[in-house]
Amino acid sequence: MDHFTYKSGRLHAEDVALDAIAEAVGTPVYVYSSATLMRHFTVFNIALGDLDALVCFAVKANSNQAVIRTLAGLGAGADVVSGGELQRALKAGVPASKIVFSGVGKTEGEIRAALSAGIKQINVESVPELERISAIAEHMGVTAPVALRVNPDVDAGTHEKITTGRKENKFGIEWTDAHAVYRKAASLPGVKAQGLAVHIGSQLLDLKPFRDAYVRAGDLVAMLRADGLDVEVLDIGGGLGIPYGAEDETDAPTPQDYARVIRETVGNLGVQLVLEPGRMIAGNSGVLLTTVEYVKEGSTKTFAIVDAGMNDLIRPTLYSAYHHIVPVAEPAAGAPLTELDVVGPICETGDTFAKNRRMAPVRAGDLLVLRTAGAYGAVQASTYNTRALVPEVMVMGDAFAVVRPRQSVDDIIALDRLPHWLED
């Protein structure tokens, strides 16, 4: 469920007409619904019921300060994967005690920043990283709380670019080495080995891979405890999928379905569970609003050329991802459909949002919405073709605010520096 609905023939975000946002801010523009964001977090959190669980929003899904602060106000923690995301989470008001730092390539500076902030834990992905953390923590005179991220060698059955739990992926420590590495972590100076972490991928629409990974994680907890090692925390990652609107797409499992798997596999381990949902919380809370610039009639295809490009939303190009596309002006009931390719202005054939999409006919000047764009949309945007980053807008009821202003081309060019031999 989301809060993007037609009212009086115009698509609204909550109680704000999207064409009013387009008129005030211009297009392309990302629009987020506070009500949807809060609802999705609340439903996810409630599904966990009486489990000892901390929900840490995956900041990589949407790192806007307004989004993070909204969720922090509901009690969310943050899962971060860079020093920049750590700063964003802290600045948005997430308590350090609710921040988990993941990722395979943490620099010395990032580790120091995490330890200085006093975050909940660092998820360790390799032995060299573990040794680096130990040396830094000992030098700083602090104790680093760490969880060992293990690779359970479970195929998530999702897109190859977003699967993370197979042994050939770069993430985590080999399952067969995990016991020895955990024992090593428990013996190192400056380190507190407090738990395990496992994350097998993103956009999972089948719960079986979760079940398989969690059973393996539970077995490892039991083996470590049998060896006299403490395991207090189990970070079970994120990755629960959402429906993007494809006609052949299966229904996504609900948070309640997911919570049932958690209870049945790791609910009785006596550990604090950490979860890292991102897409599940933010995906349906945002849309990309764009204007049709031209309708081009080809010999075999009709193209709707819009002002948004793959630099603004790269998911269709990068992952062959589907986004439902609807007009802001509600089509009449029973209106005929036409077949279109919806494409952007970038000088790449890959700059395509939809191929052979059956939808209501469009004209130049029409506003279209790419739905389910609140996760991995604005955060993956670039300035390719010297196209300025688009603004982000947040809606609350009948009010809206620009939460990231539109960048200008002058802003982009001003970042360049000429070497002295090219200066006038």
Q: Would you report the helix, strand and coil content of the chain in percent, each value rounded to 5? A: 35, 25, 40
Between the two ends of the chain, the Cα-to-Cα distance in Å is 58
Candidates 333, 347, 413, 422; catalytic one: 347
What's the gap between Cα 8 and its chain centre?
Answer: 33
Answer yes or no: is pLDDT of 165 > 80.
Answer: no
**56 noted as active-site residue:** no
333-376 residue pLDDT tens: 888 999 999 999 999 999 999 999 999 999 999 999 999 999 99
47 CB neighbour count, 10 Å cutoff: 17
Tell me which H or E stretch contains 224.
Answer: helix 208-226
Inter-residue long-range contacts of 107-113, CB under 8 Å, 24+ positions, other chains counted: 107/83, 108/132, 108/136, 109/83, 110/82, 110/83, 110/86, 111/136, 111/144, 112/136, 112/140, 113/83, 113/86, 113/87
Answer yes or no: is pLDDT of 161 > 50.
Answer: no
Percentage above 70 pLDDT, the chain: 94
| DSSP of 22-78 | HHHH-SSEEEEEHHHHHHHHHHHHHHTTTS-EEEEEEGGG---HHHHHHHHTTT-EE
The per-residue pLDDT for 166 is 39
Answer yes or no: is pLDDT of 159 > 50.
Answer: no
Q: Is 218 helix (H, G, I), strand (E, B) or coil?
A: helix
CA distance 27 to 293: 11
Residue ranges covered by each domain of the chain: 4-31+283-413, 103-275
Q: Global pTM?
A: 0.93
Question: What CATH number has the domain spanning 103-275?
Answer: 3.20.20.10
Q: Please say whether the beta carbons of 307 and 27 come within 8 A.
A: yes
The per-residue pLDDT for 171 is 57
The per-residue pLDDT for 322 is 94
What's the rounded mean pLDDT across residues 173-192? 93
382 CB neighbour count, 10 Å cutoff: 12
Rounded to whole angstroms, what are the CA distances from 283 to 41, 205, 216, 253, 258?
A: 11, 14, 29, 15, 17
Among 3.40.50.150, 1.20.1740.10, 3.30.70.20, 2.40.37.10, what is the CATH number of 4-31+283-413? 2.40.37.10
Chain mean pLDDT for the chain: 93
Inter-residue long-range contacts of 168-172, CB under 8 Å, 24+ positions, other chains counted: 170/104, 171/104, 171/125, 171/199, 172/125, 172/197, 172/198, 172/199
